[in-house]
Amino acid sequence: MSRTFDHRFAEIEGVDAARLSDPDGLAAVIVAAASASGISAPSLPVIQRGPQGHAVGLVCLDGHLVLHANPSRGDCIVDIAVRIPASAERGLEVVVRRLGAAGVTPARPPST
């Protein structure tokens, strides 16, 4: 059976707190990552502001991109899932580059 989706889930560290504190800037990063992945955004990302950071998400017909930022720690988690032939890896590369991250650790959601 062939795969239908490409998925990347990663922890990104060493990001300047000012970048992670700017929800509109994070939304721009997510839109750029969607474009690089090969999927089109039907609308603007949703921004959820919280006391310790922001979550930015973009839901598309061919996948999703979500970023959870914690400025005080200088880190975030990113979840990108796209329908093949789009590339989640290309989207993750854009997020890492645009945030100026010092490190990226591929992660797996905890098993239940």
Structural domains of the chain sorted by starting position, each given as residue range(s) with its CATH number in brackets: 5-106 (3.60.90.10)
Residue 85 binned pLDDT confidence (cut-offs 50, 70, 90): very high
Structure confidence by residue, pLDDT tens digits, 47-81? 999 888 999 999 999 999 999 999 999 999 999 99
Instruction: Report whether 84 contacts 76 (CB < 8 A).
Output: no
- Residue 11: CB atoms within 10 Å: 14
**Distance separating alpha carbons of residues 28 and 34, to the nearest angstrom:** 10
Residue 2 binned pLDDT confidence (cut-offs 50, 70, 90): confident
Asked whether residue 11 carries a pLDDT value surpassing 70, the answer given is: yes
What pLDDT score was predicted for residue 1?
62
Instruction: Report whether 32 contacts 65 (CB < 8 A).
Output: no
% of the chain residues with pLDDT over 70: 95
Rounded to two decimals, the pTM is 0.90
